[in-house]
C-alpha cells in the first residue's frame, strides 16, 4: 500500500494526488495551499519555534534566528520567540534543561508554557520527571493564589 506524502501545514498524511505536481519541496497539500499566506507563515514559524525546544543544542544560528523572530509583527509568535530566546540564553543544552530551569528560573518556564500554548505544555510535561512537574505545579499554584489575593473585589 502506498503511503502518500505528509503535509507540513495540516500534519495529515494524504495520497499523492492531493499534492500538486511541483515536486516535494513544499510538501503542502492542495487544501492547505488555498489558505491565506499569512496563516501558512504563522503555522510554519510556530512549528519552527516548537522544534527549537526539542533540539539537543540551541545553537548560535538558532539564537540569531530567534532574535529575528522577536521582531515579527504577530504578537503571539513574537512572545513565543522571546520566551524561547530567554531559555536558549540561559540553558541552550537539552540535558536536564527543564529540571534546571524549574529549579533556578521557574518564571521562564511558566512564561514559555503560556506563550507556546496547550499543545506544547502536554509535550513538555511528558519529558519532565515527576519532581520537576510538581515543582512547576507548585509555582503556578502560588502564582495563581497571589493573583487572586491581589484582585480587587468591588463592593
Q: How confident is the model over 80-99, as pLDDT tens digits?
A: 999 999 999 999 988 888 88
Q: The C-alpha cell of 146 is what?
A: 497571589
pLDDT value at position 84? 93
Rounded Cα–Cα distance for residues 73 and 139 (Å) = 31
**Residue 1: pLDDT band by 50, 70, 90 thresholds?**
very low
Q: By C-alpha distance, which of 136, 74, 131, 66 is closest to 105?
A: 136
**Residue 59: pLDDT band by 50, 70, 90 thresholds?**
very high
pLDDT at 3 over 80: no
Q: Is 21 helix (H, G, I), strand (E, B) or coil?
A: coil
pLDDT value at position 16? 81
Q: By C-alpha distance, which of 31, 84, 19 is closest to 55?
A: 84
Return the DSSP state at 23: -
pLDDT value at position 126? 64
Q: Are 102 and 132 in contact (CB under 8 A)?
A: yes
Share of the chain above pLDDT 90, in %: 28
Q: What is the pTM of this model?
A: 0.77
Q: Are 102 and 136 in contact (CB under 8 A)?
A: yes
Amino acid at each position: 500500500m502506498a503511503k502518500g506524502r505528509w503535509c507540513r501545514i495540516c500534519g495529515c498524511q494524504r495520497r499523492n494526488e492531493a499534492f500538486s505536481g511541483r515536486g516535494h519541496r513544499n510538501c503542502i497539500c492542495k487544501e492547505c495551499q488555498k489558505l491565506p499566506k499569512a496563516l501558512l507563515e504563522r503555522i510554519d514559524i510556530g512549528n519552527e519555534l516548537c522544534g527549537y525546544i526539542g533540539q539537543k543544542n540551541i545553537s548560535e544560528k538558532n539564537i540569531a534566528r530567534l532574535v529575528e523572530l522577536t521582531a515579527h509583527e504577530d504578537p503571539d509568535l513574537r512572545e513565543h520567540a522571546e520566551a524561547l530566546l530567554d531559555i536558549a540564553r540561559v540553558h541552550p543544552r537539552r540535558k536536564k534543561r527543564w529540571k534546571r530551569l524549574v529549579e533556578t528560573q521557574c518564571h521562564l518556564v511558566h512564561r514559555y508554557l503560556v506563550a507556546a500554548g496547550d499543545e506544547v505544555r502536554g509535550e513538555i510535561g511528558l519529558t519532565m520527571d515527576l519532581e520537576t512537574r510538581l515543582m512547576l505545579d507548585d509555582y503556578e499554584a502560588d502564582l495563581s493564589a497571589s493573583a487572586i489575593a491581589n484582585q480587587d473585589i468591588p463592593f
